Amino acid sequence: MTLHGKHDGETTPGTFAEGVLLGLLIGEGHFGGDGRQAQVTLRMHTNRERLFAWLVATFPGGRLYGPYHHGGRSYFQWMARGEFLRERLIPLLARHLSDDLDPQAHARFRAMRERYGV
């Protein structure tokens, strides 16, 4: 397994990469939407640029925006929507994000799924 959680010849992220993503989303993620479609957002300071570059390379279905600078803050924002969210991220979260693991993140994830029917 490489640092990116991939084995030679494997094209999907491995358990290490998925674990890192889950940890980031549980700790820093937002589960919501724009009123029309569900989205998962991860916003962190620009000093996390390398982590965001890894995230984009490892999970190419998400999109990176920024850097943004306003209100005395500088940050990047990674978003998961559409097919990537429905086909990859929601099943991953549904398998691993439980009320026992993190009640607050689980409640936000469940509310997003209910509101947007995903």
State the total domains in the chain: 1
CATH of the domain at 60: 3.10.28.10
Q: Within a domain: residue 4? A: no
Residue positions counted in the chain? 118
Tell me the C-alpha distance between 16 and 115, whole Å: 30
pLDDT computed for residue 91 by the predictor: 96
Q: Within a domain: residue 17? A: no
Q: Within a domain: residue 74? A: yes
Q: Within a domain: residue 33? A: no
Tell me the C-alpha distance between 51 and 98, whole Å: 25
3-state class (DSSP) for residue 115: helix
pLDDT computed for residue 14 by the predictor: 79
Per residue in 81-115, pLDDT tens? 999 999 999 999 999 999 999 999 999 999 999 99
Q: Within a domain: residue 91? A: yes
Q: Within a domain: residue 83? A: yes
pLDDT computed for residue 7 by the predictor: 36
Helices (H), 29-77: 49-58
pLDDT computed for residue 2 by the predictor: 35
The boundaries of the domain holding residue 53 are 40-116
3-state class (DSSP) for residue 22: helix
In DSSP notation, 69-89 reads EETTEEEEEEEE-HHHIIIII
Tell me the C-alpha distance between 107 and 23, whole Å: 16
Q: Within a domain: residue 95? A: yes
Q: Within a domain: residue 32? A: no
